[in-house]
A and B are shown apart, each in its own frame.
Chain A
Amino acid sequence: TQLLEQSPQFLSIQEGENLTVYCNSSSVFSSLQWYRQEPGEGPVLLVTVVTGGEVKKLKRLTFQFGDARKDSSLHITAAQPGDTGLYLCAGAVGNAGNMLTFGGGTRLMVKP
């Protein structure tokens, strides 16, 4: 059973469009992170959200943590080809809080 479900799995859009990807779970997480992975590389951390209801903005990217700390969303405004990649959410588990469980990812392609 996958702890974190991401949707959609694949998304292909034109440059300039807006999009939202979702990360859902039945479990509560102390924190949740979003990573982006490009082909041939490891994931790179985009943001960490900690407080229920928290909203963080990173240029054209807006991240939200659900009030109950079970879900999160990533919204991209005016997508660009450089946004293309695999977006992964990850929740902190384990007693030390340093083990991450990852969702299956959303593969985004932004066409020029």
Chain B
Amino acid sequence: ETGVTQTPRHLVMGMTNKKSLKCEQHLGHNAMYWYKQSAKKPLELMFVYNFKEQTENNSVPSRFSPECPNSSHLFLHLHTLQPEDSALYLCASSQVPGGLPRGYTFGSGTRLTVV
């Protein structure tokens, strides 16, 4: 399998549930990202991991908790979410040699609905 794979594709959860989103990349990239895509809003960067180390937390509420056990896997743990957290959550990876980005490879996203 190649590219960036996200699971599940769709998720409906209650506000008291705990769930996790999974992202796996088979491209040998060393940086991984979580983005949130809401209707009528630009893609919002949530977290950045370079070489498994979190280098950016873009003021994301603590009900979102990322985990990067290795350079190929990225998780987003969710708990006590709010309805306004409903969105498409996109994972991406890239190669960082330092300097110019070579573009992200995105997964297909997880469509999250909080009820």
Contacts and interface: CB of A to CB of B under 8 A. Distances in A.
A41 B42 contact: no
A43 B104 CA distance: 9
B31 A98 contact: yes
Contact of B42 (A42, A50, A94, A103): A103
28 contacts: A35-B104, A40-B108, A43-B90, A45-B105, A48-B100, A50-B100, A94-B48, A94-B56, A96-B50, A96-B96, A96-B98, A97-B96, A97-B98, A97-B101, A98-B50, A98-B96, A98-B101, A99-B33, A99-B45, A99-B56, A99-B101, A100-B45, A100-B101, A101-B42, A102-B42, A102-B43, A104-B42, A105-B42
A93 to B, nearest CB: 9
User: Most chain-A CB neighbours within 10 Å: which of B56, B90, B103, B108?
Assistant: B103
Contacts of A102: 35, 42-43
B48 A99 contact: yes
Contacts of A48: 100-103
Interface residues of A, number: 28
Interface of B: 4, 31, 33, 35, 41-43, 45, 48, 50, 55-56, 90, 92, 94, 96, 98-109
Interface in A64-111: 88, 90, 92, 94, 96-105
Contact of A2 (B42, B50, B106): B42
A96 B55 CA distance: 10
B112 to A, nearest CB: 14
Interface string A21-62: 000000000110101000011111100101000000000000
B109 A42 contact: yes
Contact of B106 (A31, A43, A92, A97): A43
Contacts of B33: 99
